[in-house]
Amino acid sequence: MLSQEDWKMYYLRTEDSFDAAHFLWNYEGKCRNIHGHRWKVVAEIKSPSLSQVEQTRGMIVDFGNLKSDLKALCDRYDHSLIIETGSLKETTLAALCDEKFNVQEVPFRPTAENFSHCFFTELSKKGYAVHRIEVYETPKNCAIYEE
């Protein structure tokens, strides 16, 4: 049986955002057209204990590091056209790149659901014990991924 101590957990939450356009390839509906969002990403990490290392004593991690790492991930997509690999003709993609547009190609359909998983994975790779990622496409609509 788990004791009360086993259920204790600390959480940190931060958020950032990026402005980007996307479209849903092979989708029947308005979202098949290029459109933009102010994407908001809320990251939450967890730990059952706090650091005892002098610099970060009493913290899960330095908030500044978490904020910086999330910002770097968001900046990758800021002011870009996010496309799914294979969703544009090679000539169309080449023309956009020739015009120096910021095109970010991803190996998944660029939905809020897939981005929540993407950000979870990327922050986990940086060593964070990610609890939950929320990705908002609009102020009222978000997708959540947690493990």
Active site residue 137: yes
Active site residue 99: no
Q: Which of 35, 79, 97, 146 is catalytic?
A: 79
Q: Which of 84, 122, 134, 137 is catalytic?
A: 137
For tokens 């060593």, name the residue: 127
Q: Which of 31, 35, 97, 146 is catalytic?
A: 31
Upper half-sphere CA count for residue 143 (Cβ side, 13 Å): 14
DSSP class per residue in the chain: ---GGGG--EEEEEEEEEEEEE--TT--SGGGS-EEEEEEEEEEEEESS---SGGGTTSSS-HHHHHHHHHHHHHHHTTEEEEETTSS-HHHHHHHHHTT--EEEESS---HHHHHHHHHHHHHHTT--EEEEEEEEETTEEEEEE-
Would you please indicate which residues are annotated as catalytic (active-site) residues?
Answer: 31, 79, 137
